[in-house]
Amino acid sequence: MRNLLIIAAFFSAFIFLSPDVSGQIKINLKNKINREANRRANNKTDKAVDKGFDKLEEGIKDAVKKEDDKTDEAGKSRNDVSANKDDNTAQDSKPAESGTDSKDNAPSLAWNKYDFVPGDQVIFEDNLEGEENGEFPSRWDLVRGTVEIAKLNGENVMMLRAGEPSIVPYLKDPQKDYLPDVFTIELDLYYPGDGTFDIYLYDRKNQKSDSHTGYTSVEVQYNQMNMGRGWSKNPTPNLKKERWMHIAIACTNGKLKAYMDDTRLINIPHLDFNPSGLTLYTYHARNDNRYYVKNVRIAKGGVKYYDRVMQDGKIIVNGIRFDVGKSTLKPESMGAINEIYTLMKENPDLKFSVEGHTDSQGDDAFNMKLSQERAETVMNTLIKLGISGDRLAAKGWGESKPISNNASPEDMANNRRVEFVKM
């Protein structure tokens, strides 16, 4: 009501104004009224639009929330299915047992990954016994570089430390082929974490290779090996880069296998050259990246265990190794023991007396006791593998039955043996 009175008074004032002024005021007033009307209309429209958008936004939020709820439920459902699927996959990925099929017919893997059996006649061995610290190893010859005897954790080792070190066995008439048609090479290698170690199958100081391809060495890194056919990795997980490893090579009339620890990594059916000697070499030795080598052995071998026992009534095995002065088996012994196990499984009438022998070093009584304990260790290992105990016996002979005269490291190595004598 108050607003109406103000507006009425405002219009009444026009009566007392001149026509020109009154006309101008009317025009201005009309324009102002139009602007105000438009502003108010726009405000109402904006409010209506805002109200509409508010409702639309609320609707969108509700729709999104409902969709999220559905997605969460679906995701939860998918996760449950995925978890079950993962469980099933893990279960199905296990190799099927012999004679059974898994859900996905997964194959059953049977892989003889360690079939190394050392040669039975040692023709070169160096355990570095009696070597003087800081001197060049007496049973080796130098091709190049720096190689010295050192003590590592109280044990003699050959240290290859600088100048691309390379050494060969110090033998009579080294220019001649001193590797038989059937031979094995073994050594313990400490890999320092970087580079490559090479085991050449010819004497690089005194011989020439007849290889047509140039690939004459087994290359070794901490987890893989190569001989010109591509690197083969060790499947053992989490191998340390800086570690000791046992390297073994077996060659039978040109067929070569090479092993790292307890796994065969190289299997070449035909070499393109004649292995004639041995060279140990590394380009990567430095004072901060030293390689260490010990327990090098070259042995001649060839006759299968079955043929030996049928011909001689016993099997002489030099490849069963123990810790020094103990009856604890070394891992590389399992190749020979597995061969004996297979022979006994395939020939159930075979019975063996497992007989231990030592060299002449040390006390006679200690050696007798040690040989008995070692024979029992081998016998018990075969029993654990599944051979019946009534097919086995154990006997220790100490140093009383040598097959060589103990005059050289090779003679003593041949005397340290385990024999399987047919009963």
Give pLDDT tens digits for 43-56: 554 454 455 545 54
pLDDT above 80 for 372: yes
Work out the pLDDT band at 121, boundaries 50, 70, 90: confident
Asked if residue 270 and residue 167 are part of one domain, the reply reads: yes
- Which DSSP symbol is given to 193? S
pLDDT for residue 410: 87
Mean pLDDT, rounded, for 185-191: 97
**Is residue 121 in a domain?**
yes
Higher per-residue pLDDT: 136 or 359: 136
Phi, psi of 148 (to 5 degrees): -145, 160
Candidates 325, 324, 344; CA nearest to 385 is 344
Mean pLDDT, rounded, for 334-345: 89
Candidates 181, 329, 153; CA nearest to 250 is 181
Asked if residue 252 and residue 134 are part of one domain, the reply reads: yes
**Is residue 384 in a domain?**
yes
pLDDT for residue 117: 82
Asked if residue 343 and residue 400 are part of one domain, the reply reads: yes
Candidates 122, 115, 116, 157; CA nearest to 140 is 157
Q: Is 71 helix (H, G, I), strand (E, B) or coil?
A: helix
Euclidean distance between CA atoms 287 and 278, whole angstroms: 25
CATH of the domain at 319: 3.30.1330.60
Arithmetic mean of pLDDT over the chain: 80
Q: Which of 267, 302, 337 is the last residue of a domain?
A: 302
- What per-residue string of b and e applies to 211-227 under the rule 16 or more CB within 10 Å gives b? beeebbbbbbbbbbbbb
Q: Is 13 helix (H, G, I), strand (E, B) or coil?
A: helix
Q: Which of 252, 284, 302 is the last residue of a domain?
A: 302
Asked if residue 264 and residue 124 are part of one domain, the reply reads: yes
What is the biggest distance separating any 2 CA atoms in the chain, rounded to whole angstroms?
152
pLDDT for residue 84: 35
Asked if residue 289 and residue 161 are part of one domain, the reply reads: yes
Euclidean distance between CA atoms 276 and 206, whole angstroms: 10
Lowest mean pLDDT among 186-200, 260-274, 293-307: 293-307
Asked if residue 278 and residue 177 are part of one domain, the reply reads: yes
Say which residue the tokens 């292995």 belong to: 275
Q: Which of 244, 270, 302 is the last residue of a domain?
A: 302
End-to-end, the C-alpha distance of the chain in Å comes to 133
Euclidean distance between CA atoms 231 and 142, whole angstroms: 28
Mean pLDDT, rounded, for 221-236: 96
**Is residue 325 in a domain?**
yes
Among 56-65, 80-89, 232-241, name the most confident range.
232-241
* Cβ-contact 239, 105 below 8 angstroms: no
**Is residue 120 in a domain?**
yes
Amino acid occupying residue 268: I
Asked if residue 340 and residue 269 are part of one domain, the reply reads: no
**Is residue 202 in a domain?**
yes
CATH of the domain at 227: 2.60.120.560
**How many beta carbons lie within 10 A of that of residue 152, not counting itself?**
13
Count of domains for the chain: 3
Asked if residue 238 and residue 376 are part of one domain, the reply reads: no
pLDDT for residue 98: 34
Say what the pTM is: 0.65
* Cβ-contact 346, 387 below 8 angstroms: no
pLDDT for residue 307: 76
pLDDT for residue 30: 52
pLDDT above 90 for 88: no
Work out the pLDDT band at 74, boundaries 50, 70, 90: very low
Say which residue the tokens 């399992």 belong to: 334
pLDDT above 90 for 177: yes
- Dump pLDDT digits (tens) for 30-39: 555 555 555 5
pLDDT above 60 for 17: no
**Is residue 83 in a domain?**
no
Asked if residue 384 and residue 270 are part of one domain, the reply reads: no
**Is residue 97 in a domain?**
no
Work out the pLDDT band at 10, boundaries 50, 70, 90: very low
Domain of 399 in residue numbering reads as: 303-423
SS3 content of the chain, % helix, strand, coil (to 5): 35, 30, 40
Q: What percent of the chain has pLDDT over 70?
A: 73
Asked if residue 144 and residue 72 are part of one domain, the reply reads: no
Cα–Cα distances (Å) from 171 to 20, 179, 247, 257, 376, in that order, read 137, 12, 22, 25, 37
Asked if residue 409 and residue 347 are part of one domain, the reply reads: yes
**Is residue 320 in a domain?**
yes
Asked if residue 317 and residue 276 are part of one domain, the reply reads: no
